[in-house]
Structure 1
Amino acid sequence: MERSGAALAERIAERRSGVGDPRALVGEMRRSVLLVPMSGERLWSARLGGVRWVYGFTDEVALARFARHRAPGDRPMEYAALLGARIVDEVVPALGEPAGLAVDVATEDGSMFFPPVVGIVPESAAVDAGEAQGVWA
């Protein structure tokens, strides 16, 4: 069942405060519809620490905050609404390099990174494939 990003934002807040189940957070990310900014025909992403991070936002307020920092002015930012599972299962592997999902990056103390590891992305795209299995915590 698809869900808005509100439930994901709540799970992120739980994890950032030191509580909550990492598996539940990953599950919520997979079920949530995220707003992904577009740059022309491409999804907005950035490279940091050897990983390409696809940006996703839990709501239009978080996306607008990002847009004000990245594209100041009154010009609206184009975006796609994608299921988190589609981002990590299809988009990330298609990038052909280590890639993960960064959620709500412009939100003060509210961002969450889903790295390219087994349990989040397909094993074929995971940087830790072949190592001890488990969900990132």
Structure 2
Amino acid sequence: MSKKYIRIENTLVEVSQEVYDEYYRMDRQERYQVERDNDKGTLYYEAFSLEDISGEEMIADVKQKSVEEEIEQKYMLILLKKAIQNLSDKEKSIILKMYYEDKPLRIIEAETEIPYSNLRRMHAEILAKLHQILE
């Protein structure tokens, strides 16, 4: 049986036939995967890396809101709270139960003894009123 060598960091190392076969099998598998990725146009995060920032850090997280979006949302909530203060006590109560206590109209109907159809109408009117105040 002839001697088998593999190159490790520019040094030839003598190995058994089994190690030699496995080493070149893994090498061929890796080359195949790289060729396949190149054929399919696969891009890696590392390809976008710069000196001081990795490619992964440059890709935006779509789930995370931007600072501008967070500020805008907080500002709109402040305006909404001020607009709710302009409602009557009855209107305020309905909105608070629906949106802050997360109660459906049927539960509010039982608590307030206001008919469901009237609650739906009032709800639509309150939303229109808030919309008008916020514009």
Q: Could you say which TM-score interval applies, normalised by the shorter chain? A: under 0.3
Look at both structures and tell me which one has the larger radius of gyration over its CA atoms: 2
The answer to which structure has the higher helix fraction is 2
The answer to which structure has the higher strand fraction is 1
Structure with the bigger RCO (C-alpha within 8 Å, sep 6+) is 1
